[in-house]
Amino acid sequence: MWHITKREIYDNLNSLRFALTTVLLLALMVTNAVRHLREHPKRVQRYQDAVTESLNRLTDRADDSFFTLVHHGPGNFYKKPSPLHFCAEGGEPLLSDMVEVEEPDVFATDSEDNVLLEVPWSLSYPDASLQNKSVGPNVSQVDWAFIIGYVLSLLALLFTFDAFSGERERGTLRLILANSVPRHTVLIGKFLGALLSITIPFILAVLVNLLLISTANTVHLTTEAWGRLGIIFCLALLYTSLFLALGLLVSTRVQRSTVSLMVLLLMWVTFVVFMPSTLASIASSFSPAVSFDEVWKQRNPVQEDLSDKYEEWIWSDALDDRTLRGKSDFYTENVERSERWREGRLRYQSAQMHRARAITRISPATLLQHLIEAFAGTGFERYLQFVENTQRYARQFREFIVDTDRGDPESRHIIGVREGMSQKPISPAAVPRFEDTFDLSKDFNNRAMEILLLALFVVVLLSAAYLAFVRAEVF
């Protein structure tokens, strides 16, 4: 078996396709690294500036008074850019990198512009697509996901299309099978040979890429990031094996190598290029989008209802507990309702997105894209994770407010109303801070299914290739 593998590798090393593959992969990986080095520091800078500003805001509010902090809330939350952004861009420009803490919503003013009624802060999820003002051509990023998903898979087919049909054409297949080698050994030898000879240029390109990225002092990769890179590399091998197995399968069934390549190409175009978008469009057209006007129509009655319900208290100037509690309830319910409404909308949208993503998983290219996104910490799932983080923090923040208030015996414990709360100053350092995180173990668990699915594809295709090869006649 090793003999066959070695022979395959030597065969390939001197071929034109090997040279072309090496050049192509190197060019792509170098471009990827250069671009990452140019843009990542800017991205990190932007993030840090934004976070500092948001923390400053929180400190200012806490300095001002406890009530200001409760009323205006913490500053906006920002999504931490992943250091592995170069692995998968994951449609980042289409996703918002922040969750907004909305400024208090002015409900009513008197004739002198004094605010009579103001609803405290709430979370909202801005839509990034409105921020996109570019009029340039629509092209995707050259990231690892693209290089592996599209280029490497195509190359894998170019390496295997003539594995058997080519030998059959040249007549060397008879020679091999005339030796006392079992057929499965030949098949596995061929597979390993092709895998190794495509892995060599890929490893070379990856090493150059990582060398460029890790030696630059602007980008810092942690041990965890290296672990993630290792997983992504293994995924790339698994994914390449899938296409190698497909190539072997078709190659055993088809007599002529050119026909085999043609069949493979058409399959590749269908599964990798067309399937993801077509299926997603079909899936998303099942559930119609809610239009902007409808959304506003749903939104408005929410607030009007509430001001009627609490009319008795919200316009009153009295300072008794009942009135204050009524006001507090009004605020709480108002914030709760608008947050629930916004979250519901986000849920609706992401459910639609999840459906589309689930269906496109039939295409291995999308499967790989999702997996790389998950391990690189970018993309849609990451966005949802970030949103969840902010929601958790918001709960924590509100609990902190209640606890702090409870700690003051002079307070009337009516949250949200200036007169009903602790009047003590609060130290900004005591307020919990938001930190966006993502950890590996969680990603791994969530993704195990998809990895297994990918592995299953490989096994099925390999066994199919084996069956086909065992039954194939040599002439």
Partner 1 sequence: MMILIRRELLDNLMTFRFAAVLLITLLLVVANTAVLIQDYEQRLESYNGAVRMHDAQLRKAKTYSTMYLFVDRPPNPLSIFNVGLDKRLGNLSGIWHGFVPTLWDAQMHGTDNPFIAFFSAMDIVFVFEVILSLMGLIFAYDAIAGERERGTLRLVLAQPVRRGQILLAKYISAMICLLVPLILSLLCALLLLTRSIPLSTADFLRIAGIVLTSFAYLSLFYLIGLLISATTRRTSTALMIAMFVWGFLILVYPNLIRATVNPGGDVQARTKSAENQIRQIVNEYKRERQKFLEKEGVAGDASRFNEVLGIYTDAHINPVTLSPYLENMSEISEITPDFEQYVPIAKRYYAYVEPLAADAAEKAWFIQKQALDDIFVRQAETDRTLLKLSPVGVYDAATQAWAGTDLSGLRDFFEATRRYRRILIDYFYATDAFSSREWFVADKGAVDWRTLPEFTFARSRIGTNAKRALPDLFLLLICNLALFIGIVLIFIKSEV
Phi, psi of 320 (to 5 degrees): -75, 165
> CA-CA distance, 426 to 422, in Å (whole number)?
10
- Chain positions 32 to 51 lying near partner 1, rule: CB under 8 A, are 32, 34-35, 38
> CA-CA distance, 371 to 360, in Å (whole number)?
13
List b or e across 143-155, with b for residues whose CB sees 16 or more CB atoms inside 10 angstroms: bbbbbbbbbbbbb
Q: Does 212 bind partner 1 (CB under 8 A)?
A: no
Cα maximum dimension of the chain? 101
* Shortest distance, position 57 Cβ to partner 1, whole Å: 19
Which contacts of 280-284 are long-range, i.e. CB under 8 A and separated by 24 or more positions? Answer: 280/356, 280/357, 280/359, 280/360, 282/359, 283/355, 283/356, 283/359, 283/360, 284/352, 284/355, 284/356
Q: Does 250 bind partner 1 (CB under 8 A)?
A: no
- Give helix 153-160 / helix 223-253 axis angle, nearest 10°: 40
- Chain positions 104 to 123 lying near partner 1, rule: CB under 8 A, are 111
* Shortest distance, position 127 Cβ to partner 1, whole Å: 5
Q: Which of 5, 240, 252, 360 binds partner 1 (CB under 8 A)?
A: 360
Q: Does 356 bind partner 1 (CB under 8 A)?
A: yes
CA 403 to chain centre: 36
Among all chains, which residue has been given the structure tokens 């002092």?
217
Nearer to partner 1, 129 or 298 (CB): 129
Nearer to partner 1, 255 or 396 (CB): 255
> CA-CA distance, 231 to 224, in Å (whole number)?
11
Cβ pair 153, 245 in contact under 8 A: no
Nearer to partner 1, 149 or 193 (CB): 149
Q: Which of 14, 114, 134, 180 binds partner 1 (CB under 8 A)?
A: 134
Q: What share of the chain is helix, strand, coil (3-state, %, to 5)?
A: 70, 5, 25
If we measure between CA atoms, which residue out of 195, 193, 155 comes closest to residue 22? 155
Q: Which of 7, 17, 43, 183 binds partner 1 (CB under 8 A)?
A: 17
Q: Which of 55, 188, 262, 451 binds partner 1 (CB under 8 A)?
A: 262
Nearer to partner 1, 74 or 377 (CB): 377
- Chain positions 431 to 460 lying near partner 1, rule: CB under 8 A, are none
Tokens of 9: 């590798």
Residue 415 three-state SS:
coil
Nearer to partner 1, 202 or 434 (CB): 202
* Shortest distance, position 222 Cβ to partner 1, whole Å: 25
- Count of residues that bind partner 1 according to CB under 8 A: 70
Q: Which of 3, 13, 31, 321 binds partner 1 (CB under 8 A)?
A: 31
Among all chains, which residue has been given the structure tokens 């990023």?
141
Q: Which of 48, 52, 172, 258 binds partner 1 (CB under 8 A)?
A: 258
Phi, psi of 294 (to 5 degrees): -65, -40
* Shortest distance, position 367 Cβ to partner 1, whole Å: 15
If we measure between CA atoms, which residue out of 274, 284, 338 comes closest to residue 306? 338
Q: Which of 22, 352, 391, 411 binds partner 1 (CB under 8 A)?
A: 352
* Shortest distance, position 460 Cβ to partner 1, whole Å: 23
Nearer to partner 1, 23 or 459 (CB): 23
* Shortest distance, position 76 Cβ to partner 1, whole Å: 17
Residue 117 three-state SS:
strand
Give the single-character DSSP code of 121: -
Q: Which of 37, 50, 55, 151 binds partner 1 (CB under 8 A)?
A: 151
Which stretch in 14-22, 56-64, 186-194, 418-426 sits in contact with partner 1 by CB under 8 A? 14-22
Q: Which of 48, 255, 285, 298 binds partner 1 (CB under 8 A)?
A: 285
Sequence-separated (6 or more) residues with CB below 8 Å from residue 347: none
Q: Does 171 bind partner 1 (CB under 8 A)?
A: no
Q: Which of 68, 141, 214, 316 binds partner 1 (CB under 8 A)?
A: 141
What residues line the site for partner 1 (CB under 8 A)? 16-17, 20, 24, 27-28, 31-32, 34-35, 38, 91, 94-95, 111, 127-130, 132-142, 146, 150-151, 154, 158, 162, 166, 257-259, 261-263, 265-266, 269-270, 273-274, 276-278, 280-282, 284-285, 288-289, 291-293, 295, 349-350, 352-353, 356, 360, 380
